[in-house]
Amino acid sequence: MQTLRRFLQNFWPQKSIALDFVGYEVLLDFIKARSLHRLEGDLIEIGCFMGGGTVKLARFARKHGKRVFAVDIFDPAADATTTSDGTRMCDIYLAFLEGRSQLKVYEEAVGGLDNVVTIRQDSKTVSFPASQKFVFGFIDGNHQPDYVRNDFSIIWSNLVPGGVLGFHDYNTELPEVTDCIDAIIATHTEEITETQEIKPQHIILLVKRQRAGKP
Ligand SMILES: C[S@@+](CC[C@H](N)C(=O)[O-])C[C@H]1O[C@@H](n2cnc3c(N)ncnc32)[C@H](O)[C@@H]1O
């Protein structure tokens, strides 16, 4: 239960405002530093919870004429993955919501942002046409390895060269997620020009190679 206690201590004071668990500011810093907004394509987030991070991505994307595709099942009980100390992810989400509807909290947060495209689906049922390009994607949905792999595939195939894909929960209390991400990186090493770990936020970012064989 240490994990649940840590989450509650860190985030409880902010729970009345649109909350994000990750600290999306570091993602936006990376997006800006790499000028991803100059590339052609939209942004995508798999796992948006209360929409706090979605709002931050969408405000940035709006300035550059881009959309944010926000994929979430909006069922806080859907992910029963346990952390190394036995805390279930769904129990963390339910504790935060205190009986509120996840979808309602999310809709209130993103209200007024007309560049958010909300996809209320299990991510295993989501796909995009090849014409839908992404410059940035972030994966923080279901923490089962088969979902992590699925969510990677959804984004990677449509990520433009030079685009960036990030995973949350790298090198933290979900060792199966870390192992899965390491295996994905090993399999796709030829297509990745750089990886960057942001340790305080448990994020790893993969930069897609410009062209096969070129840095
Ligand atoms: C850790 S939360 C996302 C937190 C968010 N990135 C933030 O920082 O505020 C994980 C989210 O994944 C969603 N989720 C769980 N299983 C899912 C599935 N099969 N498909 C899509 N979303 C799912 C949950 O509803 C939850 O909102």
User: Looking at residue 106, which CATH number applies to its domain?
Assistant: 3.40.50.150
Mutate to test the pocket of ligand 1, among 26, 140, 198 (most ligand atoms within 8 A of CB): 140
Quick one: pLDDT at residue 6? 65
Distance between CA 38 and CA 135 in Å, rounded? 9
What is the whole-number distance in angstroms between the Cα of residue 211 and the centre of ligand 1?
A: 32
Ligand 1 pocket, CB under 6 A: 20-22, 47-49, 52-53, 71-76, 78-79, 93, 122-123, 140-142, 147
- Domain contains 64: yes
- Domain contains 137: yes
Paired residues of 168 in beta bridges: 203
- Domain contains 215: no
The CA-based dihedral angle spanning residues 158, 125, 165, 28, taken in that order and rounded to the nearest 10 degrees: 110
Quick one: pLDDT at residue 21? 87
Q: State which ligand 1 atom lies nearest to the alpha carbon of 122.
A: 20
What is the whole-number distance in angstroms between the Cα of residue 197 and the centre of ligand 1?
A: 21
What is the whole-number distance in angstroms between the Cα of residue 142 and the centre of ligand 1?
A: 6
State the residue range of the domain holding 173: 2-13+20-208
Quick one: pLDDT at residue 19? 80
Count how many domains the chain has: 1
Quick one: pLDDT at residue 4? 63
Low-confidence ranges of the chain (pLDDT < 70): 1-18, 212-215
Quick one: pLDDT at residue 167? 98
- Domain contains 110: yes
What is the whole-number distance in angstroms between the Cα of residue 205 and the centre of ligand 1?
A: 18
Quick one: pLDDT at residue 8? 59
What residues contact 147, with CB distance under 8 A and at least 6 apart? 123, 124, 141
- Domain contains 213: no
- Domain contains 214: no
pLDDT in tens, 27-62: 999 999 999 999 999 999 999 999 999 999 999 999
- Domain contains 134: yes
H or E segment to which residue 155 belongs: helix 145-156
- Domain contains 35: yes
Quick one: pLDDT at residue 210? 87
What is the whole-number distance in angstroms between the Cα of residue 123 and the centre of ligand 1?
A: 10
Distance between CA 7 and CA 28 in Å, rounded? 22
Quick one: pLDDT at residue 11? 58
